[in-house]
Amino acid sequence: MTKFDEATQAIRVDETTYDVCLDPGYVIGGPLNGGYLLAVMLRAVVDASPFEHPVTTSAQYLRAPVPGPARVRIEQLKAGRTAAFTRATLVQDDVAQIESLVTTATLHGADPLYAAGPAHAMPPLDECVKLPDPKPESNMTLNAQMEMRFDAPTIGWLRGEPSGRPESRAYFRMAEPQDPDPYVLALAVDSLPPVVFSAGARGWAPTVDLTWHLRALPAPGWITLLGSGRLVADGWFDEEVEAWDSAGRLVAQCRQLARVGRG
């Protein structure tokens, strides 16, 4: 079991309840990463499902849970021949933190009938750059759990030179050797710096609503993440992320709505 597997494990208590322990290694300046929290919830949902994979997940972030004990409560809404539908709630101190609807199914890796190409062409991995290590007082423990190499123009905000467009692009893999799976993808699609940074905003950008789709089981190796936004207005911004595996296949899609932070 890898550290990530251990950090996301869900222990069955009964048919509707799973115990989890939210790991402090996935913190971003205080709050836990939203993709990590979904991975924890999805472990419980898939364990209780007759199907193997979380193919679509929609979540509303009601509060910001903290590291420590929590529970995932699940309600089976319907199970058919090809898919099952589940409501899952992350609860901490008897208060709902995240509400989600999850559809599970089993993906078989069939060849696509149609497949479009990536929204953006990434430079080679050796031409991409790593973010500076965070200062210890910044409480950015998430960075130690993964490796990312960024398309340089999308991190100009680090030098005070944002591109003026909401965008973020990088190669991603776990820091500990681990082939990507659906739970790693749940983390990956929410691992980029908020695209609004490149538009000129800074500060914590809390996710309010996030929906992501598992489109295929990823091949081993780096995941390519392509993030963009369409509108930053009235204190809100959207973020869309495509995840492509090392075989050049689209393996996940994500869209979220978040608040513009205050730097």
Q: What is the mean pLDDT of residues 31-49?
A: 98
Mean pLDDT for the stretch of residues 8-17: 98
- CA atoms 51, 57, 62, 63: torsion sign: positive
Phi/psi at 169 (5° precision): -140, 135
Task: Assess if residue 95 is contained within a domain.
Answer: yes
Q: Is residue 120 part of a domain?
A: no
Q: DSSP alpha helices (H): ranges in 211-256? A: none
pLDDT at 263: 56
User: How many domains does the chain divide into?
Assistant: 1
Average the pLDDT over each of 38-42, 119-123, 166-170 and give the range with the smallest value: 119-123
Share of the chain above pLDDT 70, in %: 99
What is the model's pLDDT at position 64?
Answer: 95
Q: How far is CA 250 from the centre of its chain?
A: 15
Query: pLDDT tens, 222-239?
Result: 999 999 999 999 999 999
Task: Report the predicted TM-score, pTM, of the whole model to 2 decimal places.
Answer: 0.97
50 belongs to a structural domain: yes
Q: Tell me the average pLDDT of the chain.
A: 96
Q: Number of C-alpha atoms within 13 angstroms, CB side, residue 58?
A: 5
User: Mean pLDDT across the stretch 43-65?
Assistant: 98
Is 46 contained in some domain?
Answer: yes
Whether 178 is covered by a domain: the verdict is yes
pLDDT of residue 184 exceeding 60: yes
Task: Domain of residue 15: give its range.
Answer: 3-107+125-259
Residue 212 lies in a domain: yes
- CB atoms under 10 Å from CB of 220, counted, come to 12
Asked, for residue 113, whether it belongs to a domain, the answer is: no
Q: Above 80 in pLDDT, residue 258?
A: yes
What is the greatest pairwise CA distance in the chain? 53
Residue 65's domain is classified under what CATH number? 2.40.160.210
**Residue 119 located in a structural domain:** no
Q: How far is CA 172 from the centre of its chain?
A: 12
pLDDT tens column, 82-112: 999 999 999 999 999 999 999 999 999 999 9
